């Protein structure tokens, strides 16, 4: 049929050579997915079962990233979300209903805590917080209506390493599902499913992306039942990740092993050096005995990453601690972590229930890929200016 040029803008007859092969995963964008005929049209989310039906449920780029994360975490299947926090809320929406009780460690990532306190409670879910050190004593926190217990190990900012197998054993005896934020380990330094976890999530924004230029999350399940519950919830919540971001994450993933190794070595070296400094009372790094739960890190993890915290000596005021951060030149100040740039953020725990009494004295560092001696020199000059 002859076509006007305006129609050709939409239905082109141009042809290009076939057979392009490259080392990168193609970026497949699309909301509309074409069906071969009228009878084939269906709105079903499980693209593994029914084939592609709608961009919301993932294009090949999204599913490639999901498959690769799942492979690394040894799970059944993975869903990709537009950010780590979205993965957290989707898990809660999928597995909790009014009248249920959820348990969350006091050391959890703050927006996870706030989602529970402000949104879950609004919908009739009972929310309880437990000390991250609970281990098998988690049993004392279970109620007859407890459905989900969250773990985050190590915890955010205060880095407590949890006894996840003990929590999982107690939870399973009570029929409670164990969900874990496994972002710190990049899903590779802690094998969550081998330690009893049922569902994991990661902020892929961090180590998998690795370059501070995207926001993505993942949820990985141990079994098909949990995967179905999550998939059907994601369909109705309608949170789809951008294939462009997934493509960036797929690129980031290729260098994950070398980035992690370099970051691990530099972070350990700096943590040990800082532990000896007179200005520092304590270094909270899971691989150091000064970190709560260090024995569980030694037993359960196969490596450490680049985020740890410093607790300054009580003689330093809030202005001095903030002054230390402001004096840093290579370490930048900003949220998120796990990129190639070193970062420092000062926190103030005064009045935060359930957190250790570090007040204004805690600073979280993210170690990037700069030269180690330059980073040490930067920390050293900022410490020297505190006196
Ligand atoms: C431990 C942890 N979990 C989840 C998130 C949320 O990830 P996102 O920023 O991708 O929403 C963060 C972000 O800082 C985090 O540190």
CA 265 to chain centre: 21
CB atoms within 10 A of CB 345: 19
The pLDDT of residue 108 is 98
Q: Rounded CA gap, 109 and 241, in Å?
A: 21
For residue 328, pLDDT over 90 is answered with yes
| CB-ligand 1 contact for 90 (6 Å cutoff) | no
How many angstroms does the Cα of residue 154 sit away from the middle of ligand 1? 13
Q: Is 319 helix (H, G, I), strand (E, B) or coil?
A: helix
Res 232: pLDDT: 97
Angle at 178 between CA 176 and CA 181, to 5 degrees: 155
How far apart, in whole angstroms, are the C-alpha atoms of residue 155 and residue 161?
7
Query: Phi and psi dihedrals of 312, rounded to 5?
Result: -75, 155
Structure tokens at 321: 């601690």
Task: Give yes or no for residue 171 having a pLDDT over 90.
Answer: yes
Task: For residue 35, report the distance from its CA to the centre of ligand 1, in Å.
Answer: 37
Alpha carbons 287 and 310: distance in angstroms, whole number: 14
Beta bridge mates, 77? 221
Rounded mean pLDDT of 33-51? 95
Return the ligand 1 atom nearest residue 335 CA: 14
- Considering only CA atoms, which residue is closest to atom 14 of ligand 1? 336
HSE (CB half, 13 Å, CA atoms) of 159?
Answer: 29
- Counting residues of the chain whose pLDDT is more than 70, the rounded percentage is 100
SS3 category, 281: strand
Selection from 243, 250, 248 nearest residue 55 by Cα: 243
- Position 354 scores a pLDDT of 87
Residue 269 pLDDT: 98
**Model-wide pTM > 0.95:** yes
Report whether residue 200 contacts ligand 1, using a CB cutoff of 6 Å: no
Q: Within the chain, how many helices (H) and strands (E) appear? A: 12, 11
Angle at 384 between CA 383 and CA 387, to 5 degrees: 95
**pLDDT per residue as tens digits for the range 60-108:** 999 999 999 999 999 999 999 999 999 999 999 999 999 999 999 999 9
Q: Are 220 and 200 in contact (CB under 8 A)?
A: yes
- Give me the pLDDT at residue 118, please: 97
Q: Whose CA is nearest to atom 13 of ligand 1?
A: 336
User: Does ligand 1 come within 6 angstroms of the Cβ of 239?
Assistant: no
Evaluate the CA torsion angle 252, 203, 80, 201 in order and state its sign: positive
How far, in Å, from the CA of 356 to the mean position of ligand 1? 21
- 363 C-beta neighbours (distance < 10 Å), count: 23
Give the position, in ligand 1's atom list, of the atom nearest the Cα of 152.
1
- Mean predicted confidence (pLDDT) in 157-177: 98
16 Cβ partners below 8 Å, 6+ apart?
none
Please give the number of the atom of ligand 1 that sits closest to the Cα of 156. Answer: 1
Band of pLDDT at residue 198, cut at 50, 70 and 90:
very high
State in Å: Cα 84 to ligand 1 middle: 5
352 confidence band (pLDDT: 50, 70, 90): confident
Q: List, in order, residues 6 or more apart from 148 with CB less than 8 Å away.
A: 91, 92, 95, 96, 100, 102, 103, 176, 177, 178, 179
Q: What is the pLDDT of residues 260-297, one digit of tens each?
A: 999 999 999 999 999 999 999 999 999 999 999 999 99
Phi-psi region of 351 (alpha: psi -120 to 50; beta: other; left: phi over 0): left
* Closest to 220 in 3D by CA, of 189, 250, 179: 179
366 lines ligand 1 (CB under 6 A): no
Handedness of CA 342, 345, 346, 352 (dihedral sign): negative
- Looking up tokens 């971001």, which residue turns up? 245
Q: Which of 52, 339, 53 is nearest to 64 (CA)?
A: 52
Question: Where does 72-225 show beta strands of DSSP type E?
Answer: 77-81, 101-105, 126-130, 146-152, 177-181, 199-203, 217-221
pLDDT of residue 351: 82
- Report the alpha-carbon distance of residue 186 to residue 201 in Å, rounded: 10
**Size of the chain, expressed as the number of residues it contains:** 387
Cβ atoms 274, 292 nearer than 8 A: no
Mean pLDDT value across residues 180-193? 98
Is the sign of the CA dihedral 296, 109, 365, 322 positive or negative? negative
Kind plus residue range of the DSSP H or E element containing 347: strand 343-347
Residue 387 pLDDT greater than 90, yes or no:
no
Query: What's the mean pLDDT in 209-228?
Result: 98
């Amino acid at each position: 049929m002859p076509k006007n040029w305006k129609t050709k803008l939409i239905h082109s007859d141009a042809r290009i050579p076939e057979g392009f092969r490259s080392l990168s995963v193609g970026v497949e964008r699309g909301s509309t997915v074409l069906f071969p005929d009228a009878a084939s049209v269906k709105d079903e989310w499980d693209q593994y079962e029914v084939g592609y039906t709608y961009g919301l449920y993932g294009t090949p780029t999204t599913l490639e990233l999901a498959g690769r994360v799942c492979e690394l975490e040894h799970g059944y299947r993975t869903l990709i979300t537009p950010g780590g926090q979205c993965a957290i809320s989707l898990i809660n929406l999928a597995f909790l209903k009014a009248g249920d009780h959820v348990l969350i460690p006091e050391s959890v990532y703050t927006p996870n805590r706030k989602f529970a306190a402000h949104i879950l409670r609004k919908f009739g879910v009972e929310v309880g917080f437990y000390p991250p050190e609970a281990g098998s004593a988690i049993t004392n926190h279970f109620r007859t209506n407890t459905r989900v217990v969250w773990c985050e190990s190590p915890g955010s900012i205060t880095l407590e390493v949890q006894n996840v197998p003990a929590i999982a054993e107690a939870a399973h005896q009570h029929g409670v599902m164990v969900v874990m934020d496994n972002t710190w380990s990049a899903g590779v330094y802690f094998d969550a499913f081998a330690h009893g976890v049922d569902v994991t999530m990661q902020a892929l924004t961090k180590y998998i992306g690795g370059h501070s230029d995207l926001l993505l999350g993942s949820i990985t399940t141990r079994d098909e039942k949990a995967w179905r519950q999550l998939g059907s919830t994601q369909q109705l919540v309608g949170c789809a990740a951008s294939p462009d971001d997934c493509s960036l994450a797929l690129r980031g993933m290729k260098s994950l092993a070398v980035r992690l190794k370099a970051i691990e070595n530099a972070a350990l070296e700096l943590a040990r050096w800082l532990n000896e400094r007179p200005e520092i009372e304590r270094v909270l790094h899971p691989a150091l005995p000064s970190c709560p739960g260090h024995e569980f890190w030694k037993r359960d993890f196969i490596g450490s990453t680049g985020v740890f915290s410093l607790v300054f000596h009580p003689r330093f005021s809030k202005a001095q601690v903030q002054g230390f951060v402001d004096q840093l030149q290579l370490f930048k100040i900003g949220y998120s972590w796990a990129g190639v740039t070193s970062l420092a953020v000062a926190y103030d725990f005064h009045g935060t229930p359930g957190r250790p009494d570090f007040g204004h004295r805690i600073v979280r560092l993210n170690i990037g890929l700069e030269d180690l001696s330059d980073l040490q020199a930067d920390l050293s000059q900022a410490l020297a200016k505190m006196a």
